[in-house]
Structure 1
Amino acid sequence: MAIEKVAIPAESEDGLNSLVSGHFGQAPVFVLSTIKDGEISEIELFSNSIHNGCAGLIQNLVDRGVQILITQGMGRRPYIMAKEAGIPIIRAVGSTVNEAIENYMRGTTTQVDDNDLCSRGKAP
């Protein structure tokens, strides 16, 4: 039984119907999804109230057991912190959280690398 906990920065508290936020650290909310045997089995929302250069946010994700981060964009510092925590960072494909998760489960996504990072709040 394969289980993964995925985090996606979102623009609203609409769960799977939320739009994926364009920038990790500035997302107002995160949608945490548990994927069990290729199916979404659980959804949790949490407010992005801790910024601290994203250090607190990354630690919050680690503390919540996140194993995969799916995002449209993020800066170098949170990218490095997530990598150091062993969390793979996947480029979101799709405009909603549900589409991003479905595309991840289908294997139609790629990992974010150094060339994909945002600079001063602007996506690459």
Structure 2
Amino acid sequence: MSLEKIAVTAEIDNGLDSPVSGHFGHCRAFIVTTVRDGEIVQVESVPNEAHSSCADPVNRLVGLGVNVLITLGMGMRPYMAAQQVGLAVVRGGGATVGDAIQTYLAGRGEMMGSDGLCSGGGAHQ
């Protein structure tokens, strides 16, 4: 049995129908899904609380058992924090959280590399 916890950055808190947020640090919420054998079995929303360190949201997600993060963009510091704790970062594919998860589960997710990082402006498309 395969089990993954996948978090997707969201513009609003509307579950799988939420639009994917353009930037990790500025998202309104993380939609966290539990996927068992390729099927979504649980969906929860985790607010992106105010944070003093770029690593805070990364550590919070890892503390929830998340092992994959899907986002359209993020800065170098949270990306490095994710790398240090073994959190896989995937560039979002799809307009909604549900679309992004299905793209990832279909094997079409692109791992984010340092070439895809931003300087923190939050205006990814």
TM range (shorter): over 0.9
**Alpha-carbon distance in 2 for matches of 1:11, 1:51:** 17
Post-superposition offset of 1:76: 0.2
Is 1:35 matched up with 2:52?
no
TM-score normalized by structure 2?
0.95
Following superposition, the deviation at residue 50 of structure 1 comes to: 3.2
Unaligned runs of 5+ in 1: none
Could you say what the CA RMSD is over the residues aligned between the two structures, in angstroms? 1.2
Asked if the contact 1:30–1:48 (Cα under 8 Å) also holds between the matched residues in 2, the reply is yes
| 1:59 Cα deviation after fit | 1.0
Identity of aligned residues (%): 43
2:109 matched residue in structure 1: 109
Cα distance in structure 1, aligned partners of 2:24 and 2:4: 20
Instruction: State the alpha-carbon separation in 1 of the partners of residues 15 and 46 from structure 2.
Output: 10
Structure 2, gaps ≥5 residues long: none
**Distance in 2 separating the partners of 1:90 and 1:115:** 13
Pairwise CA distance, 1:55 = 1.7
Number of residue pairs matched by the alignment: 124
TM-score (norm 1): 0.96
